[in-house]
Structure 1
């Protein structure tokens, strides 16, 4: 089903940009014009949210993707959408915009540097 869902998402997102999917986390990372905006897990789309946008997802009936960590459940910063959002491009547009905004606000990871031992 994932291939069909990815093709459907590509059709819905055509006017917003170029959507691609890359295998990750046992599902797929969803990229819009090269920016990671969501994940497709267990044939469900979850879009990127942050402190500024998660309340909008929650108000629309969405929930964060939660997986079981080693000791407790862990909520990710990717939220489900209302079903009608996947019915048309127009219905999906506001959610894509929120996901893009959240992804752009996310700070870049600092490069990992090797610690140097002091010279003796």
Structure 2
């Protein structure tokens, strides 16, 4: 298991207004959950927030990059986007974007329940 970083601990504290935040070690990084909704990935001290068709354009417009990795020699991307740079130094912006990611996670959960 990968050791928790100061950055991860800082994020958990900053994101606490969303609700109970749980970090789960996964794939060499961390998955962040709020109320059991998987809404963020932390990899190499970079926060990636869940995006969907409702929120993806806002992340792209803010200059965010998707989470990517290589599998079987081919680049893969997931629908998780970096926190916009402007939100790194502003707690209220961080929470605003985190709520966007949390909203996408809740919509994904609701869609699974309907299926």
3-state DSSP of counterpart to 1:15: helix
CA displacement, residues 33-53 of structure 1 (integer Å, 9 cap, x when unaligned): 321101011211100001111
Matches within 5 A, 1:24-43: 24-43=26-45
Cα distance in 2 for partners of 1:66, 1:88 equals: 25
Question: TM-score normalised to the size of structure 2?
Answer: 0.84
Q: CA RMSD in A?
A: 2.0
3-state DSSP of counterpart to 1:67: strand
The aligned length equals 110
CA displacement, residues 81-112 of structure 1 (integer Å, 9 cap, x when unaligned): 11231323211122111111111111328xxx
Larger Rg, first or second structure (1 or 2): 1
Match 2:86 to one of 84, 95, 111: 84
Q: Which stretch of structure 1 is more off in the superposition, 21-30 or 80-89?
A: 80-89
Question: TM-score normalised to the size of structure 1?
Answer: 0.81
Name the one with the larger helix percent: 2
The ranges of structure 1 where at least 4 consecutive aligned residues each deviate by more than 3 angstroms after the TM superposition are: none
